[in-house]
C-alpha cells in the first residue's frame, strides 16, 4: 500500500510538471484520440482562440471545438477559419499530416501543424508568427527599396533592366535614363543633410508623378536616380519624357520652410541587342549623363559610342593590369574593426588598392571586373589572400583579418586551394581569417557556392555576409548557411541620426541576427552619434572612419600598440551565448 501511494504521488507530480510544461509552451497545442475526442489542450491554445472552459475539458468532441473556431464573433475571418476547420477535418478523417499558415482577419498569422500519432489520434500545434512575418516584411521591403525615398533600389532596377534587355530589338528597344540633380551639393552644404534628405524625397515624388504607369523610377544613391521605360518607346518618346522630367523641377521646391531651386541633367541609353547587359546599358546612360552636365546642365543627351572615352580608359587599364601585379602596383590597406562596447580591436578588413602610375588610385569596383576580363582574377585574388594572411600572422592572436571575395572570384576555380595555401604558408590559424561574400555569390550557383562555403567553414574559416540588407534572397540563405557575421551596408548607417525609419530598419536587421545567433557588424560609421545608436540597438561590432581610415600595413604597428590593452581586456556590454559583444 505504501509503495502504491508513493507511485501515485509520483504520477501526480509528473502530471503536474507535464501540465506546467504544456501551459508554458510558445505554441498552442491540442491532442486528440482516435475518436477525435480532446485529450489535452494547453493554456496557450485556449488564449489564442478564447476557448471557453467547457470546451477545454478532456473528452470534448472535435466538432464542438471546430464550431467555436468557426464562430464569426471570434474574428478569425471566414476564409481562414474555413481553411483551419478543413485541415482539422482532413487530418481527423484521413490521418494525414497537414502544415499551413492561417492569415486571420484580426491581423494574426499562425503556423499550424497537424501530425498523426502512431496507434491513433493526432496532435496539432499553433504558433503565432505575426511579429516574425512583420519583421521579415520590413526587411524584405528594405532590401528592395531605398530607405530614404521609398523608391525601388538598384536590385529592382537591375531586374527590370534585365527583363527589358531579354526581349529588346530594333522595334522594341530597352531604354534607361540616368538622372543627377543640378545644384544639390550646394543645398546640402548650405542647409544641411536634413534639408537635403527632404529635398531628395520631394524630387523622388515629382519624378514618380511624371513617368508613365509602367515605368520604373529607382534611386541609385546620393542625388542619382534611374528610370527604366516600361513600354518600347522610340528615341523621340524618351526625349519627350526627359523634357517633362526637367520641367518637373523647374518649379521651386518648398522644404522645411526653405524655397529651393533645383534642376536635373539626364543621360539616355537605348539597347536593341538582347545580348547586352544591364551594367553596360547603365554605364552608357551614365556616360551620356556626364555629357549632359558638361553641356550646361538642365538638359539631356543620348549615348553615342563616340562619347565612350571610358571604354578606352578601361581598355588601357586592362592592358596595364597584366604588369601591375608583378610590378608591385597593388597594395593592401587595412581598416580597423572594433567592438561596439568598449571599442576593443577585433580585427582589420583588408582592402586592395591599385596605384596606377598614370591614372592614380583605381578602386576594386573597377579593377576586379577588369582582372576577370583579362584572366588575372585568380592570381590577383590569391595574392590578396596570401598578403592579408601573412600580415595577420604577425598580429596578436585575437586579431582577425577580413578579406572580401567577389562573386567573380567564387565563380572561378581554385579559390578553395588559394585559401588553404594562404593559411598554410602564413601559419595563420583558420579562425582568424574571415571571408566576406555578398548574396550575389549565392545567386550565381546556389548549390556549388554553398558547398564551397561549407568547405571553408569545415576548415575553421569564418564566413560573413557583406552588404546585408541590399538583397532579399539573403534572408532565405541565412536559414540554410550558418554565417558567422552579418555586415550591415553603410547606406543604412549614414542616415541613422536623421532618419527614424533607418533606425527601425536597423533594429529589424539586428533582431534577425540575434534570432539566428549571428554577430552583426555595421560598416561606414562616421560619427559618434551613429556609433551610439548602433551600440544601443545591440550591434556587436563597428567599422568606419570614426575608428580609423584604411591604412597601409606600415601604420598598423602603431595602431596595434595603442590598442594592446584592449586585446586582453574583456568588453562590457550585452552578451550572447556567454561571450561579450
What does the block give as the cell for 367? 579593377
The fraction of the chain above a pLDDT of 90, given in percent, is 45
1 falls in which pLDDT band (50, 70, 90)? low
| Residue for grid cell 600595413 | 553
* Residue 464 parent element (H or E): strand 462-468
Does residue 443 have a pLDDT over 50? yes
| Residue for grid cell 536593341 | 272
425, 386 contact by CB (below 8 A) = yes
Q: State the burial class of residue 55 (Cβ atoms within 10 Å of its Cβ: 0-12, 13-18, 19+).
A: middle
Does residue 429 have a pLDDT over 90? yes
Residues 152-166, mean pLDDT to the nearest whole number = 93
What does the block give as the cell for 192? 544641411
Does residue 425 have a pLDDT over 90? yes
CA angle, 507 as apex, 501 and 513 as ends, to 5°?
A: 145
* Residue 264 parent element (H or E): strand 263-271
What does the block give as the cell for 98? 497537414
Task: Look at 82-91, 305-314, 371-380 and tell me which has the smallest mean pLDDT.
Answer: 305-314
Q: Does CATH number 3.30.70.270 belong to domain 142-305?
A: yes
Give the Cα separation of 243 and 68 in Å (integer).
63
For the segment 402-416, what is each residue's pLDDT rounded down to a tens digit? 999 987 788 777 899
Does residue 579 have a pLDDT over 60? no
Residues 137-143, mean pLDDT to the nearest whole number = 84
* Residue 95: DSSP 8-state: -
472 falls in which pLDDT band (50, 70, 90)? very low
Higher per-residue confidence, 3 vs 31: 31
Higher per-residue confidence, 398 vs 297: 398
Strand partners, 174: 271
The pLDDT value recorded for residue 14 is: 64
The pLDDT value recorded for residue 497 is: 62
- Residue 214's contacts (CB-CB under 8 Å, 6 or more residues apart) are 229, 230, 231
Does residue 581 have a pLDDT over 50? no
Residues 546-571, mean pLDDT to the nearest whole number = 81
Q: Is 217 helix (H, G, I), strand (E, B) or coil?
A: strand
What does the block give as the cell for 247? 520641367
Question: Which of the residue ranges 288-297, 427-436, 469-478 has the most confident prediction, judged by mean pLDDT?
Answer: 427-436
Instruction: List the domain boundaries for the chain.
Output: 26-128, 142-305, 378-546
Strand partners, 552: 333
Give the Cα separation of 288 and 508 in Å (integer).
39
In this structure, the number of other CB atoms found within 10 A of the CB of residue 576 comes to: 15
Does residue 245 have a pLDDT over 90? yes
The pLDDT value recorded for residue 580 is: 35
26-128, superfamily in CATH? PAS domain (3.30.450.20)
Give the Cα separation of 580 and 372 in Å (integer).
41
125 falls in which pLDDT band (50, 70, 90)? very high
What does the block give as the cell for 492? 543604412
Residues 340-367, mean pLDDT to the nearest whole number = 90
Just give the CATH number of 378-546.
3.20.20.450
Nearest to 51 by CA among 36, 31, 70: 70
First to last CA, the chain: 58
In this structure, the number of other CB atoms found within 10 A of the CB of residue 99 comes to: 10
pTM: 0.53
335, 351 contact by CB (below 8 A) = yes
Strand partners, 278: none
Give the Cα separation of 271 and 141 in Å (integer).
30
Residues 409-426, mean pLDDT to the nearest whole number = 89
Does residue 423 have a pLDDT over 80? yes
Alpha helices in 259-346 (DSSP H): 278-294, 309-324
In this structure, the number of other CB atoms found within 10 A of the CB of residue 101 comes to: 13
Mean pLDDT computed over every residue of the chain = 86
97, 104 contact by CB (below 8 A) = no
Amino acid at each position: 500500500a505504501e509503495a502504491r501511494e508513493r507511485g501515485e504521488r509520483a504520477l501526480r507530480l509528473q502530471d503536474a510538471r507535464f501540465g506546467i510544461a504544456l501551459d508554458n509552451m510558445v505554441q498552442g497545442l491540442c491532442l486528440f484520440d482516435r475518436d477525435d475526442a480532446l485529450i489535452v489542450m494547453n493554456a496557450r491554445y485556449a488564449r489564442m482562440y478564447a476557448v471557453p472552459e467547457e470546451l477545454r475539458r478532456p473528452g470534448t468532441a472535435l466538432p464542438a471545438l471546430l464550431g467555436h473556431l468557426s464562430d464569426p464573433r471570434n474574428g478569425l475571418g471566414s476564409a481562414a477559419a474555413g481553411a483551419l476547420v478543413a485541415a482539422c477535418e482532413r487530418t481527423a478523417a484521413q490521418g494525414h499530416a497537414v502544415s499551413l499558415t492561417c492569415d486571420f482577419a484580426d491581423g494574426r498569422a499562425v503556423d499550424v501543424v497537424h501530425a498523426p500519432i502512431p496507434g491513433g489520434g493526432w496532435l496539432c500545434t499553433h504558433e503565432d508568427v505575426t511579429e516574425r512575418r512583420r519583421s521579415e516584411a520590413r526587411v524584405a521591403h528594405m532590401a528592395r527599396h531605398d530607405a530614404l525615398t521609398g523608391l525601388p533600389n538598384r536590385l529592382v532596377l537591375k531586374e527590370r533592366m534585365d527583363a527589358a534587355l531579354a526581349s529588346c530589338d530594333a522595334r522594341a528597344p530597352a531604354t534607361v535614363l540616368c538622372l543627377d540633380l543640378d545644384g544639390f551639393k550646394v543645398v546640402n552644404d548650405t542647409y544641411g543633410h536634413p534639408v537635403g534628405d527632404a529635398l531628395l524625397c520631394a524630387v523622388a515624388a515629382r519624378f514618380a508623378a511624371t513617368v508613365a504607369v509602367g515605368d520604373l523610377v529607382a534611386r541609385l544613391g546620393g542625388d542619382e536616380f534611374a528610370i527604366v521605360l516600361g513600354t518600347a518607346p522610340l528615341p523621340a518618346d524618351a526625349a519627350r519624357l526627359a523634357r517633362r522630367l526637367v520641367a518637373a523641377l523647374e518649379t521651386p521646391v518648398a522644404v522645411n520652410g526653405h524655397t529651393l531651386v533645383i534642376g536635373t541633367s539626364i543621360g539616355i541609353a537605348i539597347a536593341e541587342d538582347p545580348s547586352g547587359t544591364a551594367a553596360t546599358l547603365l554605364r552608357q546612360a551614365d556616360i551620356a549623363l556626364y555629357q549632359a552636365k558638361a553641356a550646361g546642365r538642365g538638359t539631356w543627351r543620348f549615348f553615342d559610342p563616340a562619347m565612350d572615352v571610358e571604354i578606352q580608359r578601361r581598355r588601357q587599364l586592362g592592358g596595364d593590369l597584366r604588369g601591375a601585379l608583378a610590378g608591385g602596383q597593388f597594395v593592401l590597406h587595412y581598416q580597423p574593426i572594433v567592438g561596439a562596447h568598449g571599442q576593443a580591436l577585433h580585427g582589420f578588413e583588408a582592402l586592395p588598392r591599385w596605384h596606377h602610375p598614370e591614372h592614380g588610385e583605381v578602386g576594386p569596383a573597377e579593377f576586379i571586373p577588369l582582372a576577370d576580363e583579362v584572366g588575372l582574377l585568380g592570381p590577383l585574388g590569391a595574392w590578396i589572400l596570401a598578403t592579408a594572411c601573412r600580415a595577420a600572422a604577425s598580429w596578436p592572436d585575437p586579431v582577425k583579418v577580413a578579406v572580401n571575395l567577389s562573386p567573380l572570384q567564387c565563380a572561378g576555380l581554385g579559390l578553395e586551394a588559394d585559401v588553404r595555401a594562404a593559411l598554410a604558408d602564413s601559419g595563420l590559424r583558420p579562425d582568424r581569417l574571415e571571408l566576406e561574400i555578398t548574396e550575389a555569390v549565392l545567386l550565381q550557383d546556389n548549390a556549388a557556392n554553398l558547398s564551397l562555403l561549407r568547405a571553408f567553414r569545415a576548415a575553421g574559416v569564418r564566413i560573413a555576409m557583406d552588404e546585408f540588407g541590399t538583397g532579399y534572397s539573403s534572408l532565405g540563405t541565412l536559414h540554410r548557411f550558418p554565417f558567422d557575421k552579418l555586415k550591415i551596408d553603410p547606406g543604412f548607417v549614414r542616415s541613422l541620426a536623421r532618419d527614424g525609419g533607418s533606425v527601425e530598419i536597423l533594429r529589424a536587421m539586428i533582431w534577425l541576427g540575434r534570432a539566428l545567433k549571428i554577430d552583426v557588424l555595421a560598416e561606414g560609421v562616421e560619427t559618434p552619434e551613429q556609433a551610439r545608436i548602433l551600440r544601443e540597438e545591440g550591434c556587436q561590432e563597428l567599422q568606419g572612419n570614426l575608428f580609423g581610415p584604411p591604412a597601409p600595413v606600415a601604420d598598423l604597428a602603431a595602431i596595434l600598440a595603442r590598442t594592446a590593452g584592449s586585446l586582453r581586456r574583456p568588453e562590457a556590454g550585452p552578451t550572447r551565448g556567454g561571450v561579450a559583444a
